[in-house]
Amino acid sequence: MIRRKTWVAWSSGKDSAWARWAAQQNNDIEVVGLLTTITEPFGRVAMHGVREALVEAQAEAAGLPLHRVFIPTPCSDEIYEAAFERILHVAKEQGVNGVVFGDLFLADLRAYRERQMARVAMDALFPIWRQDTAALAREMIRSGLRAWLTCIDPRKLPREFCGAAFDESLLWNLPPGVDPAGENGEFHTFAWDGPMFAHPIPVRLGETVEREGFLFRDLLPACEEYMP
């Protein structure tokens, strides 16, 4: 049987980690790499604010090569889409014909992904699409997935949630109306352990900063001193 070679769109968070795990259970799919977007001036994952070195550690623990899209800041849609399309052509040259995404229920975002992929005649795959987010969040936690909240929208969550663990306590304490998976942009995470990794990624919490209306909690490799 010929398996479809794919990369996973890797945000560093729980949803992309779980999408990789779900795809890995599909005998028709072979995950052969992770694809992440790095804001080049900062060396961090776009929106999640996670250091590039920690994403590299995730890729090592996942046993997969990491492929990067570098973007400037600010970054227009046109610049981002051109950079993304270039890396997709690299993927095709390596025999990859699809990208796995961890989107759950934002239909406009899914349609945007599908248009991006169609431009290079590749497939967009959504293995956790339309799953109930409350049930999914608890399944992630029960499976052993561990994550920290690295970015929150303070208009939707109190500031003390920035840097919180993604666990049952968090789910119980989320304010009414906040999606348990943060699918409406309430929060973003960094996954540091779980069944998709061969071993945990040791990290420790750093300082909290505010940028462009969002709060970001820095994460550092557990063995390193803080360096801004």
- Contact at 8 Å (CB) between 34 and 67? yes
Mean pLDDT of the chain: 94
Question: How far is the first Cα of the chain from the last one, in angstroms, to the nearest whole number?
Answer: 49
Query: Do 36 and 57 reside in the same domain of the chain?
Result: yes
* Whole-number pLDDT of residue 111: 96
Looking at 107, 125, 143, the residue that finishes a domain is 125
Residue 74 in domain: yes
CATH number, domain of 42, equals 3.40.50.620
- Contact at 8 Å (CB) between 47 and 23? no
Q: What is the pLDDT of residues 157-206, one digit of tens each?
A: 999 999 999 999 999 999 999 999 999 999 999 999 999 999 999 999 99
Question: Amino acid letter at 141?
Answer: I
Residue 16's closest CA among 100, 98, 99, 102?
102
What's the residue count for the chain? 228
Residue 152 in domain: yes
Q: How many domains does the chain have?
A: 2
pTM: 0.93
Q: What is the pLDDT of residues 23-67, one digit of tens each?
A: 999 999 999 999 999 998 889 998 889 999 999 999 999 999 999
Band of the pLDDT at 226, cuts 50, 70, 90? Answer: very low
CB under 8 Å to 49, separation ≥6 — which residues?
A: 150, 151, 188, 216, 217, 218
* Whole-number pLDDT of residue 46: 83
Residue 190's closest CA among 62, 54, 35?
54
The enclosing H or E element of 61 equals: helix 52-62
| Three-state DSSP state, 11 | coil
Residue 226 in domain: no
Range of the domain at 150: 133-221
Phi, psi (rounded to 5 degrees) for 209: -130, 160
- Contact at 8 Å (CB) between 31 and 23? yes
